[in-house]
Structure 1
């Protein structure tokens, strides 16, 4: 089942990456809203102010951020009752299989390697939204954890 509007939260400290992400959202066929935070501390503050009813549909989480990195945020989020099932897509430049395994085991919903190409970025974001929605925003088997453009 595809949602009508996807409310997306992006946690990424790179302003260029945030701009490309927002531009890509504007060009995909799905309706979206976007809120951006620039580090893990801002992310955790943002989430702590939300109730279960007004959480975003999906968090795209960069691993390499200052103050609190994505891995620390993921672990912390999974310890909070209202957030234990919150859908989180790791969105990183790395595709190291050990890191991917750790993120899977920590409870990330999906993993995406940030593509350098804008058309691939649009494709992978749209694919992530569709696949996550079809999967009821739940973590799939490990073989389907990494989403490719």
Structure 2
């Protein structure tokens, strides 16, 4: 079965509404069955996960680094420290091209680091790279 035809949810955590809109559009063009949930602050995304049933966790989190209240790094640390959330693949999706940000992201447990704006081919590659993680729900 083709991954891009199976329904699944992605959390896009980014305080820039324009970036959220454009990224959501690219993803919906690639895979109309993908439900992209834009959340504009990292603390709000963590609150959503706290009340979410594990069966309804997103299959992927796209996370910006530069946000108010909690930075993407702080959010990533909290995700990877949580017993249930650590299995959710996290892609850092940021305007930063600083190699130190990239290295720190990987040290903290990010699965991939992409610099915005990303090309369409990179977004397609992202879906295929995490097809196994997105195909099955997060395991407890």
**TM-score normalized by the length of structure 1:** 0.81
Contact 1:88 1:110 (8 Å CA) reproduced? yes
5+ long unaligned stretches in structure 1: 138-149
Show the counterpart of 1:131.
Answer: 129
Q: Alpha-carbon deviation of 1:109?
A: 1.0
Alignment match of 1:16 (pick from 2, 15, 18): 18
Which runs of at least 4 in structure 1 moved beyond 6 Å after TM superposition?
Answer: none
Q: Alpha-carbon deviation of 1:2?
A: 5.1
Cα distance in 1 for partners of 2:58, 2:113 equals 18
Show the counterpart of 1:61.
Answer: 63
Cα distance in 2 for partners of 1:124, 1:50 equals 29
**TM-score normalized by the length of structure 2:** 0.86
Paired positions, count? 132
What RMSD over aligned residues (CA atoms) do the two structures have, in Å? 1.8
Alignment match of 1:83 (pick from 82, 85, 93): 85
5+ long unaligned stretches in structure 2: 135-140
Cα distance in 1 for partners of 2:65, 2:131 equals 23
